[in-house]
Amino acid sequence: MKEQNLSQFNKTILPSGIKILTETIPYVKSFSLGFWFDVGSRDETPENNGITHFIEHMLFKGTKNRSAKKISDDVESYGGWLNAFTSKEHTCYYGRGLAKHINRTFDVLADMVQNPAFKESDIKKEAGVVIDELNDIEDNPEELIFDKFEELIYNGNPLGLPVIGTEENLKRFSNLDLFNFISQRYGNNNLTIAASGDVTHEHIVKLTKDLVTKDLGNKTTDRPHTNSKKASNLSVDKEIQQIHAIIGKSTVGYNSKKRALINVISHILGEGSSSRLFQIVREKNGICYQINTFLNSFLDTSSFGVYFSTNDKYFERSLNLVLGEFRNIKEKKVSLKELNRAKEYLKGNIILSLESTTNRMFRMAQTEIYYNRIKPVEETIKEIDEVTAEDVIEEANELLDENSLSRILLGSKKSLVKTAA
């Protein structure tokens, strides 16, 4: 058994391959606990797209030992709660509660991931629930356009597949499909158990040894790498009032030292109400309500861009203002005041998020998954502080090269025709 002590953090890798991470916070009376599998929609194919997210739903529908109601009652009746999420690269089942009830929450989560029932009757009902969730996304242009954008820039790679999947796939999943996918993808070596709060490392290790007893085996991850795609444009016909737009591209991921620099550029451009795009497009010209940049990161790539919505009358003007700010940041050196504002905004967001034990648990697990170590907050802060104005202008000229940017528009056919005129 390998041991690693990292400041206030502790890490153990069991002989089975399961990683255990803990952070003891003695001044709180609660805990946040997560079971993380390094499995997401990036591990799917078009034929089974949506199965990872569907399994996440189905684990709450009952185990060989507990009904769906008992799963909830065993945690909620003691003042805690359970939740889960699926991303493109991992799945997390997590809970929060009072420190004295951590054994109960751990037992429920361990039961869920080891002993799912996957009853056919539950599968049919839950497929309807997830299809309803899919329809909600279809009705929400602010969310739908991001799925369409990543489908565009990662075309041909599983990263382009939506996490929720397709209605056709959801209707045909069987319990055999779910059990087979778990057998192929859920392993001891891609399971990380993370806990933050009023916990001790020794206790979490003991709970893992006592309650995670099923041998899930070791699984290999064979994710195809993304390749740079030529810029392309897409228009999506949707009967809505506004035009929603994204202009952006794929860029570096968590495995690049440039990520902090690109994060700073993103914040200068479009994060917060004092950012350039918010000020010039919304405050000065008053031609759109929503405008912001984003950086959605994965291990080896990120999707970066600017999202805004407006009516067809102001679309062209909004787009030109966005492109104008791209040119400004490429040609004119950022002032020290503006650079420091972006850095402090970024650092403030990170530090404020750490007041939540759930966020601390999330950060601890995610850095372990992406860096194979628990990355100290101080290291992230240092990377941000080291960004210079010269770095910004050099990177902006590559990141914001108009010939490399893809565009996606989502709106009614009538509005899209007007923008093309």
Neighbours of 41 (CB within 10 A): 24
The pLDDT value given to residue 45: 96
Query: Number of C-alpha atoms within 13 angstroms, CB side, residue 106?
Result: 24
Q: Classify 271 as helix, strand or coil.
A: coil
Alpha-helix residue ranges (DSSP H) falling in 139-258: 141-153, 167-172, 175-185, 201-211
Instruction: Please name every residue paired with 406 in a beta bridge, in sequence order, or none if there are none.
Output: 248
User: What is the pTM assigned to this prediction?
Assistant: 0.94
Tens-binned pLDDT, residue by residue, of the chain (421 aa): 444 444 489 999 999 999 999 999 989 999 999 999 999 999 999 999 999 999 999 999 999 999 999 999 999 999 999 999 999 999 999 999 999 999 999 999 999 999 999 999 999 999 999 999 999 999 999 999 999 999 999 999 999 999 999 999 999 999 999 999 999 999 999 999 999 999 999 999 999 999 999 999 998 878 888 876 789 999 999 999 999 999 999 999 999 999 999 999 999 999 999 999 999 999 999 999 999 999 999 999 999 999 999 999 999 999 999 999 999 999 999 999 999 999 999 999 999 999 999 999 999 999 999 999 999 999 999 999 999 999 999 999 999 999 999 999 999 988 888 776 5
Three-state SS annotation for the chain: CEEEEECCEEEEECCCCCEEEEEECCCCCEEEEEEEECCCHHHCCCCCCCHHHHHHHHCCCEECCCEHHHHHHHHHCCCCEEEEEECCCCEEEEEEEEHHHHHHHHHHHHHHHHCECCCHHHHHHHHHHHHHHHHHHHCCHHHHHHHHHHHHHCCCCHHHCCCCCCHHHHHHCCHHHHHHHHHHHCCHHHEEEEEEECCCHHHHHHHHHHHCCCCCCCCCCCCCCCCCCCCCEEEEECCCCCEEEEEEEEECCCCCCCHHHHHHHHHHHHCCCCCHHHHHHHHHCCCCCEEEEEEEECCCCEEEEEEEEECHHHHHHHHHHHHHHHHHHHHCCCCHHHHHHHHHHHHHHHHHHCCCHHHHHHHHHHHHHHHCCCCCHHHHHHHHHCCCHHHHHHHHHHHCCHHHCEEEEEECHHHHHHHHC
Ramachandran assignment for 62, one of left (phi > 0), alpha (psi -120 to 50 degrees), beta (any other): left
The residue type of 373 is R
Cα separations in angstroms, 387 against 150, 186, 296, 415: 28, 39, 20, 41
The pLDDT value given to residue 169: 98
The residue type of 138 is E
Task: Please give the Cα distance from 32 to 95 (Å, whole number).
Answer: 6
Alpha carbon 232 to chain centroid, angstroms: 24
Domains, the chain, ranges and CATH? 2-211 (3.30.830.10), 233-420 (3.30.830.10)
The pLDDT value given to residue 4: 44
The residue type of 362 is F
The pLDDT value given to residue 421: 59
Model confidence pLDDT, tens digit, residues 274-291? 999 999 999 999 999 999
Tell me whether residue 404 is exposed, middle or buried, using C-beta atoms within 10 angstroms of its C-beta: 0 to 12, 13 to 18, 19 or more: middle
